[in-house]
Amino acid sequence: MKDKLLNSVKASWPYLLTLIIGLYLAEILAGSVMALSRYKLAFADHMPTVLKQLVLHPWHYYSLYLGQKNPVLIIVSIAVVLYTVYFALKRNSKHKAWETADTETHGSATWGDLKELSDHYFSISPKDLTTSFNTMTDLEAVKMLIDKSQSETKPEKENLK
């Protein structure tokens, strides 16, 4: 039971951390919007103090804004929760897709045997291979290569005599 609880905590800590950081940033955003609406043109003068209070006392301001039914905080908090849930489900489904089966392969991939490989990749007959090679090659280029190689080998033979 203890191992199961420990494994679930290990598996869920990144999502909890993401959720906490997201809600923390939502509280800072909501507080900044509230400060902007309150101080308007003097916003730049009061912003460092407001941000300091928001950063140092997140639980107080989060519960305060939630009690006031602040729409910015509610909307951003819902978005953070939905994003975290989506991210967790998407990652979990990707993880399950990459788990190996008894075949030691990922997903639906399987190892082919020699017959499957030869049927798929080496199914051309020798006659078809010759015909294919002859139609693909330029006979004049082959003649030029043969003549060139013969002319290069003649001086070597004369040097040997």
pLDDT in tens, 3-46: 888 888 788 888 888 889 998 988 888 888 888 888 887 878 88
Which phi and psi (to 5°) does residue 98 adopt? -95, -5
Contact 141, 133 (CB under 8 A): no
Query: How far is it, in rounded angstroms, from Cα 79 to Cα 108?
Result: 35
Rg (CA), the chain: 36
Structure token digits, residue 62? 């989060």
pLDDT band of 155, cuts 50, 70, 90: low
| Distance in angstroms (rounded) separating the CA atoms of residues 12 and 41 | 44
Query: Rounded distance, CA 27 to CA 66, Å?
Result: 9
Examine the pLDDT at 75 and tell me if it is beyond 90. yes
Sign (positive/negative) of CA torsion 128, 134, 136, 137? positive
Distance CA(41)–CA(29), nearest Å, equals: 18
> Mean per-residue pLDDT for 120-134?
72
Q: What are phi and psi of 10, to 5 degrees?
A: -60, -35
pLDDT value of residue 161 = 53
Residue 156 predicted with pLDDT over 90: no
**Residues 40-56: tens digit of each pLDDT:** 878 788 888 988 998 99
Query: What is the reported pTM?
Result: 0.49
